[in-house]
Amino acid sequence: MTSESNSDPDDSVQLPAVVASDYRRTNMDLKQQLVLWKKANYLMDNINLSQPFLNKLVDYGLFNRAMMDQIHAKHYSVERILVMLSLLGQQGDDVFNKFIHILMETKHFEVVKELRKTEKYTHYGEMLPPVFTYFLNLSEFLRMYPHIAIKLGEDEKHILETFIDGKIEMATRKISESNKVLEEKIVRLKKRISQLQQEICVRTERESLLQEKLRQSKEDIDSLKSRISELEEMNFQWKCEVRRLKHFRDEQEELEKWIQEERKERKIQDAPIGMFGRLPTFVSNKKAKNTSSVKLKLLSAQVRMAINKMYYAQGHIENLSYLERRLNSFIGKPRDVFDKETIQDLHNLKTLLIDTQKEKQSIKEELTEEEKEIVAKEHEIEILRQEILGKSMTPEYQPEGHSSLRTKMLQLLDDLNKLHELHVQRINVRHFKEINTMKEHISEINYAHNKDKEALKWRMRVKMGELHRREMLHRRMKHTILVLCRYNAKNLNATVTIEDARKVVRGIIGDARKLRKMVDQAEMLEKNPGGIGSAKEDDSEKERLERERLEREQEEKEATKAGKQKKKKRRKDVDYLKNERLMFVADRLKEEWRTLGLHLGLSMNRMDMVEIELPPDAKPDILGYAMLKAWRDEIKGKVSVKASRLVKGLLKMGRKDLAIIVLPIHRVELLEEEANEELEREKVEPKTSEEEEEDEGEEREDVVDVNAVSELARNVLGMQTRNDPVPVLPEVGATQGTV
């Protein structure tokens, strides 16, 4: 698809309407087909192959399921539109108007306007635009319709160029579409990255809130723990107070009992009204009463002693706790220097701390045992008091109640703290895992993008470097060949020595080898595009030219050394049948090209086919060039073998000058053969006096020509070695004054 598809009708070649209608057997006439294909470029850029559009094509009966499958089989929108245009008209009636109606319904108003305008200025018999050649094999099309080939003989080159341009533009459109897809993907990825970054920010804020909440929870837990310790101290104090009051009550009851006994002994009748009136009447014998009283007093004294002992033990525990706190604070204090004495002191302090903790634990165990004994003795006191007084005045009390409440509260707080920490830990793990996954994904995307970018940069640099080198080397070879072609074979052999000619030929062969090597490297890089990035393009142009000059000097030294030692080397296969040489030979043959074709083994029928393929007014040199090119492409074998056959054919025709041009490496052998043949003819047929005088005059002219032109040729060769511009060389037969 080229830009020429939208060209004016006046610039196109007029074709018969019958031809196009034969080729496009559809339900549209030629004018409608030409309208669609002329605006193919515009349709590819402006039609949207949406699902409603395709449904309309099926609903109107223009496409069936198989045709839609052909459209959907293509990967790019450009190819789908081209396939749709190529299949349009193979099914249904009134196709063009229905297609216009579908475009109107799908809101392609500009497309409809452009098609109407094109239909107005389109005439019958116009040539199909170059976009149509994307689906055609050009040679097959011309073979099917030979009258069109004769008609388009002059414009064949233009058709081939448009065909190639169509292919190239199609590939360009595919690449542009893939680039658009990649750009959209990059935009989506950037948007996704921004979303992920926003989500990361939200999660970070959420994490900070959770951290603050966790800190507050820890503070609440610490406050609750301090409150529990306060409650424990209050509980202990109240417990001690209850015990004091209980013993005060026991003493009061004993006092009341003694007062009652004294009143009975002294026979005091009036009992005072007060708290002593509450005491029950003591009914028992004296012996039992005295035994119970003594036992009650003994137990009360033991309980009081145990309580006092517990008071002293509790004070000692408090002192040990204070010492333990001081030791922990002193041991955990940071130090700048750790010498032997400091380490020994720390060791002693740790030993003291361990001993203090053990002593504290042992005192607590003793207190627990004492408390149990006190509880048991208090129970016995209660029983004795009930026997003596008749009722118990001690309130019910559970000594271990505060411990169970404290244990439950501590356990509940620990469980809540553990659950909260576990929940926060799980949230942090999941949050950091998602963040790391997102970061890895973003880094992978950035790495792949940078890698593709660097690979494209290296590919472009390598391609540009290769093109530049190839162009410079091609220019140099073309310049050298042009200088050689300005001489004919006789002038070249008469003015340049054999060694100089061989040097020039070796230089051309070396440049051809370099070109071939560069082509092989380019093909290898195209097959293995992964290795493009490893190519080094750091050498500047000056360094590259210097390196080539050193290589040429080394090759000249090796060639000179090989010539001195007279070593025969195997000759490599060189492309002696290039288009330039074949064109040179055909230009010199003129009307004798059929004779050369017969010597080469071509039949007259084949040469007639070659002549038919060309325009009727083609010149003989063009016909000869086409014949030689067809012979070169059809015959199998090495190039050197083909060149040898061509040389033999030219020798049979008596054209040794052209044979030397085809195989310049055999030039010396041909000259020696020619000299030997002349000597043989002179021996057989002696010359007359007039012929000898003519030969002497020619020799004098040749001597002047050799001396003048050989110096100029040496200068030309020196300029060629230095890459200097070469002056125009003289023609054959130039005298010394002219040179």
Q: Residue 572's pLDDT is what?
A: 44
Q: Which residues pair with 14 in a beta bridge?
A: 126
The pLDDT tens digits for 492-511 are 455 556 676 667 777 777 77
3-state secondary structure 219-253: HHHHHHHHHHHHHHHHHHHHHHHHHHHHHHHHHHH
Split at pLDDT 50, 70, 90, the class of 637 is: confident
The pLDDT tens digits for 437-480 are 888 888 888 888 888 888 888 888 888 887 777 778 777 777 76
Mean of pLDDT values over 595-618? 84
| Phi, psi values for residue 595, rounded to 5° | -60, -45
Shortest CA distance to 388 belongs to which of 276, 253, 497?
253
> What is the C-alpha to C-alpha distance for residues 623 and 611, in angstroms, rounded to an integer?
6
* Fold classification of 3-154 (topology level): Death Domain, Fas (1.10.533)
> What is the C-alpha to C-alpha distance for residues 716 and 172, in angstroms, rounded to an integer?
45
The secondary element (H helix, E strand) that includes residue 440 is helix 401-485
Q: Does pLDDT of 552 surpass 60?
A: yes
H helical segments located in 267-285: none
Mean of pLDDT values over 516-537? 60
What DSSP line would sit under 139-172, residue for residue?
HHHHHH-HHHHHHTSTTHHHHHHHHHHHHHHHHH
- For residues 411 and 335, the model is more confident at 411
* Exposure class string for 460-473: b at 16+ Cβ within 10 A, else e: eebeeebeebeeeb
From 337-351, 456-470, 629-643, 662-676, the region with the lowest mean pLDDT: 662-676
Q: Residue 127's pLDDT is what?
A: 54
CA-CA-CA-CA dihedral for 627, 629, 630, 633, to nearest 10: 160
Q: Does pLDDT of 354 surpass 50?
A: yes
Distances (CA, A) of 665 to 60, 180, 644, 661: 73, 56, 11, 9
Share of the chain above pLDDT 70, in %: 64
Provide the 3-class DSSP secondary structure of residue 612. helix
Mean of pLDDT values over 576-596? 84
> What is the C-alpha to C-alpha distance for residues 379 and 396, in angstroms, rounded to an integer?
11
Distances (CA, A) of 527 to 470, 520, 569: 19, 11, 34
Asked whether the beta carbons of 91 and 61 are under 8 A apart, the reply is yes
Q: Does pLDDT of 278 surpass 80?
A: no
Shortest CA distance to 585 belongs to which of 573, 574, 576?
576
Q: Does pLDDT of 705 surpass 50?
A: no
Residues counted in the chain: 739
Q: Does pLDDT of 271 surpass 60?
A: no
Q: Residue 558's pLDDT is what?
A: 77
> What is the C-alpha to C-alpha distance for residues 581 and 584, in angstroms, rounded to an integer?
5
Angle between helices 498-527 and 689-721 (to 10 degrees): 40
> What is the C-alpha to C-alpha distance for residues 228 and 211, in angstroms, rounded to an integer?
25
> What is the C-alpha to C-alpha distance for residues 477 and 512, in angstroms, rounded to an integer?
8
> What is the C-alpha to C-alpha distance for residues 363 and 335, in angstroms, rounded to an integer?
34
From 29-38, 83-92, 318-327, the region with the lowest mean pLDDT: 29-38
> What is the C-alpha to C-alpha distance for residues 296 and 383, in angstroms, rounded to an integer?
10
Q: Does pLDDT of 400 surpass 70?
A: no
Q: Residue 688's pLDDT is what?
A: 53
The secondary element (H helix, E strand) that includes residue 629 is helix 620-634
Q: What is the DSSP letter of 570?
A: P
Provide the 3-class DSSP secondary structure of residue 613. helix
CA 331 vs. chain centroid, Å, equals 59
The tokens describing 73, both together, are 């089989």
The secondary element (H helix, E strand) that includes residue 707 is helix 689-721
Q: Residue 698's pLDDT is what?
A: 42
Q: Residue 102's pLDDT is what?
A: 92
Provide the 3-class DSSP secondary structure of residue 387. helix
Distances (CA, A) of 98 to 26, 112, 205, 495, 635: 14, 12, 61, 79, 55
Mean of pLDDT values over 655-674? 64
Domain ranges of the chain: 3-154, 280-399
Q: Does pLDDT of 420 surpass 70?
A: yes
Mean of pLDDT values over 220-248? 78
- For residues 140 and 91, the model is more confident at 91
What DSSP line would sit under 46-100, residue for residue?
H----HHHHHHHHHTTS--HHHHHHHHT-SSHHHHHHHHHHHTTSSSSSHHHHHH
Q: Which residues pair with 126 in a beta bridge?
A: 14
- For residues 200 and 533, the model is more confident at 200
| Look-up of token digits 């130090």 | 335
Give me the half-sphere count of Cα atoms (radius 13 Å) on the Cβ side of residue 386: 9
Q: Residue 109's pLDDT is what?
A: 92
| Phi, psi values for residue 76, rounded to 5° | -110, 150
- For residues 283 and 557, the model is more confident at 557
Identity of the residue numbered 604: M
Q: What is the DSSP letter of 137?
A: -
Mean of pLDDT values over 17-38? 57
Distances (CA, A) of 121 to 35, 44, 117, 735: 9, 21, 7, 67
Q: Residue 69's pLDDT is what?
A: 87
Split at pLDDT 50, 70, 90, the class of 19 is: very low
- For residues 442 and 274, the model is more confident at 442
- For residues 21 and 35, the model is more confident at 35
Q: Does pLDDT of 105 surpass 80?
A: yes
Q: Does pLDDT of 487 surpass 70?
A: no
- For residues 725 and 426, the model is more confident at 426
Identity of the residue numbered 517: K
The tokens describing 691, both together, are 């012929």
Q: Residue 268's pLDDT is what?
A: 64
| Look-up of token digits 């799980």 | 426
> What is the C-alpha to C-alpha distance for residues 529 and 532, in angstroms, rounded to an integer?
6
Q: Residue 424's pLDDT is what?
A: 84
pTM: 0.24
Query: In whole angstroms, how large is the CA radius of gyration of the chain?
Result: 59
The pLDDT tens digits for 177-190 are 888 888 888 999 99
Q: Where are the beta strands (DSSP E) in 479-534?
A: none
Split at pLDDT 50, 70, 90, the class of 536 is: very low
Asked whether the beta carbons of 459 and 529 are under 8 A apart, the reply is yes
The chain-wide mean pLDDT, for the chain, equals: 70
Range with the largest mean pLDDT of 503-512, 561-570, 661-670: 503-512
Q: Residue 398's pLDDT is what?
A: 47
> What is the C-alpha to C-alpha distance for residues 637 and 617, in angstroms, rounded to an integer?
33
Distances (CA, A) of 401 to 238, 239, 406: 13, 11, 9
Identity of the residue numbered 666: H
> What is the C-alpha to C-alpha distance for residues 89 and 63, in angstroms, rounded to an integer?
9
- For residues 595 and 494, the model is more confident at 595
Q: Residue 721's pLDDT is what?
A: 42
Angle between helices 30-38 and 95-105 (to 10 degrees): 40
The pLDDT tens digits for 287-312 are 455 677 777 777 777 787 777 777 77
Split at pLDDT 50, 70, 90, the class of 17 is: very low
CA 342 vs. chain centroid, Å, equals 62
